[in-house]
Structure 1
Amino acid sequence: MRIHSKLQFKRKINQALLAINTDEISFLERKTIPFENGEEFQDFQHPYAYDLDIFGNHSLFQHLNRSATFIGKKTLATTLLHKSDNDEILSNQEAIAELSQKLDWRQEFLAFAKVTNDSESSYKTLLQWSTFNSESLPKWLVFFSYASPLFFVVIFISYLLTSNLFLLSCLSYLFVLNLMVLGRFFKRIQLEIANSDNIDKLIGQYGMLLEKIETEQFVSKRLLDLQQKLKFKTENASIHLKKLSELFSRNDAIANLFTATLFNGTFLFNIHVLKALLQWKKEHAEALEDWLIVIGEFEKLNSLANFSYNNPDFVFPELNTDYKINFSDLSHPLLNPETRVGNELYFHPQSFMILTGSNMSGKSTFLRSLGINMVLAGMGSVVCATEAHVHPLPVLVSMRLSDSLSDSESYFFAEIKRLKQIMDALEQQPAFVLLDEILRGTNSDDKRNGTIEVLKKVITKKAIGAIATHDIEVCLTTNDYPAVLTNNCFEVEIKDDELYFDYKLRAGVCRNKSATFLMKKMEII
């Protein structure tokens, strides 16, 4: 049976490895995106999550995600929503660079994670168990749990030697007494294993994931620090989890009427297991969550390492603290690499860009390219550029909002609230701000004047970023702030009676218009 179990587990790992590579090939050939999209982490109130398509179908999360445990997905999602400090970004860059070269190890780790069949409910059940009622058993019960089995063995041996029926009746009374004692604590035992179906297997597989980390040789400081967190007392975390898995397996014996009666009537078996579980919980409860966090961190870093491995032309940005941001050949990392168009841009000496261009010329995609690459840079990932210098900043975006019918909230009011959120955030610290055609819910004059005032307010708060607009008069603001503002545009050409977009960023204000031409061509006007 042991040989069979080992072969069965090896088969599961090989099946998982086959699935991992099949999915990855399908993804790289742009046939499907067979990875979880993180829709459950969507936050419409977040400063950029919805606007930049961080979660959902065809999202950044779905392209990055190579995690199979709940804590792995949660860690990746959390990191995507918050900028790390510079030291953490640099340590993540070093760790990702190292892991990107450990292809076999990364895939084996993911295969082990896949066979755990982990879920949010099982993860939370385990953590709830670790903090639930860890009160020690009464001292009299601990004494009785050792004394009773000892008496049972002594009386049983005496009966075998003497065949005295009185001793046999004493054994039967002691057997019943043990079961009565067990019955008094039966509910406590049931509470310990409540909602823990197959939890011993899950714990054992968590232990194997930790063992994969413990036995691998790492060089980068980040990975070594995570590895060090798995040292507990004199043993590795995987050994402690293996012991816990065995205790849960033993406790399952109480579900079998025959074995429960026999083992507990003689040796109070489940009382000893309960005592050991409570002792394990008392000693390891705080460390348990830390160990699972390490698994989540490795799954996150593995996902980002896979992203780097799949895109060898992407680079790690060089960090600075001078508020200088520039990219060479910047593009959107989720676009087809064979057709995407890169652009050069510098946010110094001027720090804010007014972007113009006709519809479909690429303004919104360009803003999203900026936003997503700043998010990637802020977590230590590679970015879609051939060279990048970045001062990591919080990202604030107003690009794509929606009416909230449940809150009786119009698009316009939702946008005003987002602009207020951006201004409040800028009061706390400088940020990277992206605005796309703001104030669309009002008349032309109001929209133009409001846009200019918002722009002035943003740059006085030392924001870096860009605003896209169709209103040419907004571009005149650069005359008043030439040291801060710059005009850039995307142009459209008409070739052979067709619109032609090259998606290349140019200096200056957009001159060409496409709406009238397109409507005439489609015989709308």
Structure 2
Amino acid sequence: MNTRTETYLAKQKKHEQEVKQIKNTSLRISILRLITVIGFGLSLYYYFKLNNEVLLVLAGICTIAFFTLIKIHGRLSFKRKIKDALVAINKDEIDYLENKNLNYNNGSEYIDTTHSYSYDLDIFGDKSLFQILNRTATYIGKTKLANSLLSIIPNTEIILNQQAISELSKDIEWRQGILAYSKTTEDSKEIYTELIRWSKAKEQKTPIVLTIISFLFPAIYFVALGGMIFTDNGIFNNIALFTFLINLFILMSQYNNIKAEMLNATKIKDILRNYSLIIKQIENKDLTSEKLNQLKNKLNDNEGLASEQIKKLSSLFGQLENILNPIGAGLFNGVILYHLHTLRSLYKWKSAHRTKITAWLDVIGEIEKLNSFANFAYNNTDFTYPELNSNYKIEFNDLSHPLLDRETRINNTVDFNNQNFIILTGSNMSGKSTFLRSLGINMVLAGTGSPICASKANIHPLNVLVSMRLSDSLSDNESYFFAEVKRLKEIMDKADKTISFVLLDEILRGTNSDDKRTGTVEVIKKIIGKKVVGAIATHDLKVCDTTQEYPETLTNKCFEVEIINNELVFDYKLRDGVCKNKSATFLMKKMQVI
């Protein structure tokens, strides 16, 4: 068991113990609530029987105690949800480190077969890069993480991300705390979109006349109520009743406006409360890296902390939600026009802060994204942050694929400094495709600021263009070959615009061997003319002769296989030159195919 697993296991046990303590406390609170209910009932019973005012006071104390205990129980329930989330977080990390289940969203909704590399390199989907990285639980966090894997950012931003990720990787408590709050948020694309739409909707104001009425009529009601209590004049009864009904009529005239502002009030209220707690964690955190402080500064608000403003918005939505309770809404609005005042407060909040909601939620998403990379760095202490350059130099020491088992994966050292394009040969199953994917996926990671699966690296982050895995498109009436030609055309066009990192795996598989060889050689010649960096894998050894024409640009490398004791043995080590051994015929004979 490695030290990271031991850390997670200790945290899991600690949080499980805390959950147990909360359960015991909640049970005691429930018993006390039952006692207060019994005390309330007995106090009222004996008050009416004995007419002792002390018993009436006792009934009041029981009532206050009951509602206080309900509030305490609610806080304990929320605390338990957070602790349950922390237990699950640490259990999931143990499963990941022990190569068991990956209990993280795999981002399958982001799969795009037309993207220049994400489909070929398994960026999204089951057992994908996104899945092993993903420690987000909000919609905006997941979206930010997905988008970061689909394009590169300038070197200056990559360096800022590296610094932020390195800082966050050292604070497991804070990272897990953010994730625990996020996991209990339970937001969705629909909720997020609805909230952003609400913030961008046309600003509303309560008419001045309605504002005056909202204070005037409740005042009249209370004056009439005082007259009812302290005089025998029956007119006050009529005034109070009339004012009560007028207040209800006024409320009904504004019901559509209230309904338009409510959104999905119950979910929005709880989600916003959790957003405020996440933002509060960020506000209270002492940060040193420039990127993290830039994000923290976006939470500044002239009228108070962003967390307090989001909490207030949550409270306003909760107050609006009460209108769905006909008895309570009728009583409070008939007396004080409660929901009209809430609506006015919501309009006022919206006028002051609606333009900041998107930026505040973006901070949550950015922090979740960076936390995901930081967790990746924490779990993989042997990974490195690559040095960056602007000279198109790319070199990796001990490169491998981050999705492979850390105990068995084979590392390789490679650079593209002397010759910038590799022709890669090797028998089936020798490791060619895995090596190409290792190159591609680590270039993608390097372009985000993440550590990569290597012991050392110096990289010029480039746009990644890949043709490795395509599929027939029956709906578009396309053959595999035509789909592949289209992809190669896209790669050529993009390579014309900017120097790119290109990976090609056994191209032109959908045609005959002569056409394939000729086509492959011509593709190589054309693509190296575009000053690209990268590699192509092929089974056709004649293609390797192309390096003799372009010795300053092309180089041959290979993976070999040996037959030992009538078994195929692969060492998955990258070598210079062209592969010499073959395995396909041997394997088919061994499996009695031929």
TM-score, scaled relative to structure 2:
0.86
Write the distance in 1 (CA, Å) between the matches of 2:318 and 2:582: 72
For 1:504, the aligned partner's letter is: K
Alpha-carbon separation, structure 1, partners of 2:330 and 2:562: 86
Deviates more, 1:367-376 or 1:33-42: 33-42
Match of 1:455 in 2: 524
1:265 aligns with 2:339: no
Partners of 2:199 and 2:229 lie apart in 1 by 44
Give 2:111's match in structure 1, choosing from 39, 42, 63.
42
Cα contact 2:194–2:263 (8 A) shared by 1: no
1:162-184 deviation per Cα after TM superposition (whole angstroms, max 9, x unaligned): 43222332222222222111111
Aligned counterparts of 2:326 and 2:413: Cα–Cα separation in 1: 73
Give, as a single letter, the amino acid of the residue that structure 1 aligns with 2:152. Answer: K
Contact kept, 8 Å, 2:265 with 2:320, in 1: the verdict is: no
Q: Percent identity?
A: 55
Q: Which residue identity lines up with residue 245 of structure 2 in the other structure?
A: V
Structure 2: segments with no counterpart, 5+ residues: 1-69
| Match in the other structure for 1:81 | 150
Partner of 2:510: 441
Deviation at 1:36, TM superposition (A): 1.1
- In 2: Cα distance, 1:165 partner to 1:425 partner: 87
Q: Secondary structure at the match of 1:371?
A: helix
In the TM superposition, what whole-angstrom CA distance separates every residue of 1:410-448 from its partner, at most 9, and x where no partner exists?
Answer: 111111111111111112111100000111111112111
SS at match of 1:489: strand
Among 121, 135, 138, the residue aligned to 1:66: 135
- The within-5 A match list for 1:51-450 is 51-450=120-519
Q: CA deviation at 1:452?
A: 1.4
Greater shift, 146-155 or 509-518, is seen at 146-155
**Secondary structure of the corresponding residue to residue 328 of structure 1:** strand
Count of aligned pairs? 525
Q: Distance in 1 between matches of 2:81 and 2:310?
A: 21
- CA deviation after TM superposition for structure 1 residue 485, in Å: 0.8
CA contact (8 A) 2:266 2:321 kept: no
The residue that corresponds to 1:24 in the other structure is: 93
Q: Is the 8 A contact 1:125 1:196 kept in 2?
A: no
Residue in 1 that maps onto 2:547: 478
SS in 1 for 2:383: coil
Partner of 1:197: helix, strand, or coil? Answer: helix
Letter paired with 2:130: F
- Secondary structure at 1:335 match in 2: coil
Please state how far the C-alpha of 1:161 moved relative to its aligned partner: 4.0
Looking at structure 2, the residues matched to 313 and 433 of structure 1 have their Cα atoms a distance apart, in angstroms, of 27
What is the aligned counterpart of 1:500 among 564, 569, 593? 569
Q: Who is 2:24 aligned against?
A: none
Q: Distance in 1 between matches of 2:283 and 2:465?
A: 39
Cα deviation, 1:264-295, whole Å, max 9, x if unaligned, reads 11211111111111221222122111111111
Q: Which amino acid aligns with 1:343?
A: N
Partner of 1:323, secondary structure, is coil
Instruction: Write the distance in 1 (CA, Å) between the matches of 2:560 and 2:230.
Output: 104
Structure 2: distance between partners of 1:453 and 1:146: 83
Q: Is the 8 A contact 2:118 2:150 kept in 1?
A: yes
Q: Could you tell me how far apart the structure 1 residues matched to 2:593 and 2:325 are?
A: 77
**2:265/2:321 contact within 8 Å kept:** no
Give, in angstroms, the shift of residue 518 of structure 1.
1.4
User: Residue 474 of structure 2 aligns to which amino acid in structure 1?
Assistant: L
* Structure 1 stretch displaced more, 364-373 or 411-420: 411-420
Q: Show CA shifts across 1:452-480 (max 9, x none).
A: 11112211111100001111221111112
Q: Is this contact kept in 1: 2:410–2:572, CA < 8 A?
A: yes
Larger Rg over CA atoms: 2
Distance apart, 1:159 and its partner CA: 4.4
One-letter amino acid of the structure 1 residue matched with residue 351 of structure 2: K
Runs of at least 5 residues in structure 1 that lack an aligned partner in the other structure:
none
TM-score by length of 1: 0.98
* Residues in 1 aligned to 2:436 and 2:261: alpha-carbon distance in whole angstroms: 53
Q: Distance in 2 between matches of 1:424 and 1:109?
A: 43
Aligned residue for 1:232, secondary structure, equals coil
The C-alpha deviation readout for 1:91-150, integer Å capped at 9, x for no partner, is 110011011100111111111111112222222222222233432222321222122223
Query: 2:462, 2:571 → 1: CA distance?
Result: 30
1:18 counterpart letter in structure 2: V
Separation (CA, whole Å) in 1 of partners of 2:233 and 2:184 = 56
Whether the 8 Å CA contact 2:266–2:318 is kept in 1: the answer is no
Q: 1:509 corresponds to which letter in structure 2?
A: V
Higher helix share: 2
Paired amino acid for 1:44: T
The offset of 1:158, in angstroms, is 4.2
Distance 1:360 1:465 in 2: 21
SS in 2 for 1:17: helix
8 A Cα contact 1:343 1:505, kept in partner? yes
Is contact 2:424–2:537 with CA below 8 Å preserved after alignment?
yes
Structure 1 Cα separation of the partners of residues 338 and 585 of structure 2: 85
Offset of 1:42 from its aligned partner?
0.8
Shift of 1:236: 1.3
Distance in 2, matches of 1:462 and 1:351, equals 8
Question: Secondary structure at 2:106's aligned position in 1?
Answer: coil
* Matched letter for residue 310 of structure 1: N
Distance (whole Å) between structure 2 residues aligned to residue 201 and residue 514 of structure 1: 60
Over the aligned positions, Cα root-mean-square deviation in angstroms equals: 1.3
Contact 2:428 2:584 in 1 (8 A): yes
Choose between structure 1 and 2 for higher RCO, CA contacts under 8 A separated by at least 6 residues: 1
Asked whether the 8 Å contact 1:116–1:202 carries over to 2, the reply is yes
TM-superposed CA distance for 1:160, in Å, is 3.8
Alpha-carbon distance between aligned partners in 2 of 1:365 and 1:347, rounded to the nearest angstrom: 18
Q: Report if aligned partners of 2:106, 2:131 keep a CA contact under 8 Å in 1.
A: yes
Higher mean C-alpha displacement, 261-270 vs 155-164: 155-164
Whichever residue aligns with residue 206 of structure 2, its letter is L
Partner AA of 1:418 in structure 2: R
